[in-house]
Amino acid sequence: MERTLILVKPDGVKRNLVGDVVSRIEKKGYTIAALKMMNADRSLLVRHYAEHEGKPFFEPLVEFMLSGPIVAIVAEGNRVIEGFRKLAGATDPTTAEPGTIRGDLARDQGTKVVQNIVHGSDSVESADREISIFFPEL
């Protein structure tokens, strides 16, 4: 059974979209194995976004993720990584297809970093690493 980490980012939490995101995951047929709301600290986010450290968007991204609570989710299912990324839609909410989370719920806010509601792991290796950061008990 494949697992992935999904984060509902501060913009999604602030706009009360957590239930919609969880509903879409469940309607797709994936299982929610773990879920928690939290205020991530800087050290956790630096570990999570380590591959982007030094890039121009790194600091604005960390600041955005520190701006409010997030919801961390572990979802399970056959090909869940690929399936959730398709469900989430393109990272640019302006070009994300209708029917996707970002296509339906996000828009370009004109901010330093794209606020696009959700994050999903991009590979099995990333999912394993990210789940261990947000859910060390699993």
Alpha helices by DSSP H, listed for the chain, are 10-14, 18-27, 42-48, 58-66, 80-88, 101-105, 124-134
**Count of other CB atoms within 10 angstroms of residue 136:** 7
Handedness of CA 23, 28, 34, 37 (dihedral sign): negative
Q: Positive or negative CA dihedral for 52, 55, 61, 62?
A: positive
Annotation says 48 is catalytic: no
Could you say which of 83, 119, 127, 130 is catalytic?
119
Q: Which residues contact 100 (CB under 8 A, 6 or more apart)?
A: 86, 87, 88, 89, 90
Active site residues: 119
